[in-house]
Amino acid sequence: MAAAPFVVIAALLVTDRLLVRVVEHRLTERFGCTGTFVGTRSVHIGGFPFLTQLAAGNLRTVTATAAGIGPAGRLTDVAVTFRDVRVPVWSVLLGRGRSSSLTVGSVSAAAVLRFGSDDRPVLAGSGGLLSRPLAAGSSAEPVLPPGTHLDSVEPMPGGLRVTVTIPGGVLAETGGRLCRG
């Protein structure tokens, strides 16, 4: 009987780690089937224990990484971290639910913005050039979503590593772009 508490604790630890891996795998599949994230993709849910975060419906951090965004390869080495993600328990487990019920405290994103043929950064998806120089600490509203803060810009071979922070709120509708299942 003295071993029973240890068995229960061990079972909870194993369940916690298995469940977080299942949810991470499911989210990775969902991000991959959108067609937006290309190449190697992964999702990591931070914080321990996962079961208590899940029961509370509040995930501390969720980080999605991808080799790139879009087929043009203009944004590469992408890492997006969602902090203080509040979501209904069953939508995490089943990968379903309305995006209107998903809120985040903040989003940090980093990616390499590849240079175009004229050695100037190209804005992903638009085919156009950035209309003004990028400077760390500047407000980026004209180029990025409202409220976005440009945290850093670092030169890299073939491009610029750009890091931004976006204030939290309710995530926008996905328009059906996330796969079901």
Q: What average pLDDT does the structure give for the chain?
A: 76
pLDDT for residue 55 is more than 90: no
Give the pLDDT of residue 15: 93
Return the pLDDT at 174: 46
Q: Is residue 61 part of a domain?
A: yes
Residue 137, domain member (yes or no):
yes
Listed in sequence order, the residues at least 6 apart from 117 whose beta carbon sits closer than 8 Å to its beta carbon are none
Angstrom CA distances, 2 to 13, 22, 146, 181, stand at 18, 32, 58, 43
118 occurs within a structural domain: yes
Q: Is the pLDDT of residue 172 over 80?
A: no
What's the structural domain count of the chain?
Answer: 1
Q: Structure pTM?
A: 0.73
Residue 172 and residue 157: Cα distance in Å, rounded? 34
- In the chain, the percentage of residues whose pLDDT exceeds 70 is 67
For residues 113 and 153, what is the distance between their CA atoms, to the nearest angstrom?
A: 10
Question: What DSSP state is assigned to residue 12?
Answer: H
Q: What confidence score (pLDDT) does residue 161 get? A: 94
Q: Is the pLDDT of residue 135 over 80?
A: no
Residue 175 belongs to a domain: no
Return left, alpha or beta for 149; rule: phi > 0 is left, psi -120 to 50 is alpha, else beta.
beta
Question: Tokens representing 13?
Answer: 């630890």
Residues 91/95/100/104 CA torsion (nearest 10 deg)? 80
Within a domain: residue 178? Answer: no
- What does the pLDDT read at residue 178? 43
Pairing mode, strands 149-156 and 58-69: unpaired
Residue 33: pLDDT over 80: no
Span 39-57, average pLDDT:
90
Which residue range is the domain that position 9 belongs to? 4-170
Q: Judge whether 180 lies within some domain.
A: no
Element containing residue 55 per DSSP (H, E): helix 50-56
Tell me, yes or no, whether 45 lies in a domain: yes
Higher confidence at residue 90 or residue 44? 44
- Residue 13: the pLDDT is 93
**Cβ atoms of residues 83 and 107 within 8 Å:** yes
Q: What is the pLDDT of residue 119?
A: 55
In 42-165, alpha helices (H): 50-56, 89-94
Task: Say yes or no to pLDDT of 48 above 60.
Answer: yes
pLDDT at 20 over 80: yes
